[in-house]
Amino acid sequence: MACGTPIPTVLTIHGIWPQDANDVPIPPYNAATNPCYSQAPITDPLVLETTAFTPIESNLISLWPDLKNPTKPGTGFWETEWLKHGTCSDYPNNPLDYFKSALTLRQGLTNPATGLTPGNRYMVQDVIKIIQSHTKASPEIACNRNKTGGLQLWEIRLCYARPTLSSQMITKIQNCPHRLPFKNADEKCQLNGEIALSNFGDVVLMGAQISAPLLRATPAVYDIGTRHSPCLLRL
């Protein structure tokens, strides 16, 4: 991904993604193929902007920026995240709570990358251990390649348990399920290898997914009471 400038010096949110109990992303709402709710979720761009984005826009710009277009409002990016990951979350008709849940999780985190210095190189296992020492839960990390082809840290993914009641906000961090090719690391990260740490960009929240996933047990058709289990915060 080509980022604009300036690149944030702290981890920002990529998204908050509902996952099933096997760490598989829940697909977006589709009335024909994935009717996760009996009532269609909010998708109107104007309604999303006025009810979800505008009330918390300053926090979204700060903690959930569009790194591809940093000089523009992130409305398009936030809308895409909502349509892909929010419409079958616990907040299908309350997008404001969906976005606030991710912001609250990020604001409640001590920087999970404290102790990692941008520009340095680290063993993948050491990166995972440092993040775990701050979050007290086992994360997932993802890598990509920089302009010279070297591996670098791309995302930190934290997993959160689904609240007992759909009206509750996501708060409880948990170990990620380690179903990636190399347990805590994706196929591009080599668990015994070395990666570079560039300036920070995305964090994914899992379980709720900074980027964060929510883990949940998923029947073919589900309702509010039986839907997926954790949430992934992607950073």
Question: Closest by alpha carbon to 7, among 75, 57, 71, 79?
Answer: 71
The reported pLDDT for the residue numbered 224 is 27
Q: Is 62 helix (H, G, I), strand (E, B) or coil?
A: helix
Element (H, E) at 126: helix 124-135
Q: Are 72 and 32 in contact (CB under 8 A)?
A: no
Is 50 exceeded by the pLDDT of residue 19? yes
Strand partners, 142: 155
Which residues in 12-28 are b (16+ Cβ under 10 Å) and which e?
bbbbbbbbbeebebbeb
For 48-75, write each residue's pLDDT tens digit: 999 999 999 999 998 998 888 776 778 9
Rounded to an integer, what distance in angstroms lies between the CA atom of residue 79 and that of residue 121? 35
Choose the CATH number for 12-234 among 3.40.225.10, 3.40.50.920, 3.90.730.10, 2.120.10.30. Answer: 3.90.730.10
Is 80 exceeded by the pLDDT of residue 156? yes
Q: What is the CA radius of gyration of the chain?
A: 17
Q: Are 52 and 91 in contact (CB under 8 A)?
A: no
More confident residue, 42 or 127: 42
Rounded to an integer, what distance in angstroms lies between the CA atom of residue 223 and that of residue 190? 38
Tokens at residue 129, please?
A: 């251990």
Is 80 exceeded by the pLDDT of residue 222? no
Q: What angle do CA 136, 141, 143 make, to 5 degrees?
A: 160
Rounded to an integer, what distance in angstroms lies between the CA atom of residue 225 and that of residue 167? 11
pTM, rounded to two decimals:
0.81
Rounded to an integer, what distance in angstroms lies between the CA atom of residue 157 and that of residue 7? 19
Q: Which residue has the tokens 């761009």?
A: 45
Average pLDDT over residues 70-81: 85
The reported pLDDT for the residue numbered 94 is 92
List the domain boundaries for the chain: 12-234
Alpha carbons within 13 angstroms on the beta-carbon side of residue 137 total: 25
Is 50 exceeded by the pLDDT of residue 45? yes
Percentage of the residues of the chain whose pLDDT score is greater than 90: 24
Q: What is the mean pLDDT of the chain?
A: 77
Rounded to an integer, what distance in angstroms lies between the CA atom of residue 75 and that of residue 156? 23
Is 90 exceeded by the pLDDT of residue 98? yes
Average pLDDT over residues 215-220: 30
Tokens at residue 20, please?
A: 């099933």
Is 70 exceeded by the pLDDT of residue 18? yes
Q: Using 50, 70 and 90 to split pLDDT, how confident is the model at 22? A: confident
Q: Is 133 helix (H, G, I), strand (E, B) or coil?
A: helix
DSSP letter at 162 equals P
Rounded to an integer, what distance in angstroms lies between the CA atom of residue 28 and that of residue 88? 6
Q: Using 50, 70 and 90 to split pLDDT, how confident is the model at 206? A: very low
Is 60 exceeded by the pLDDT of residue 122? yes
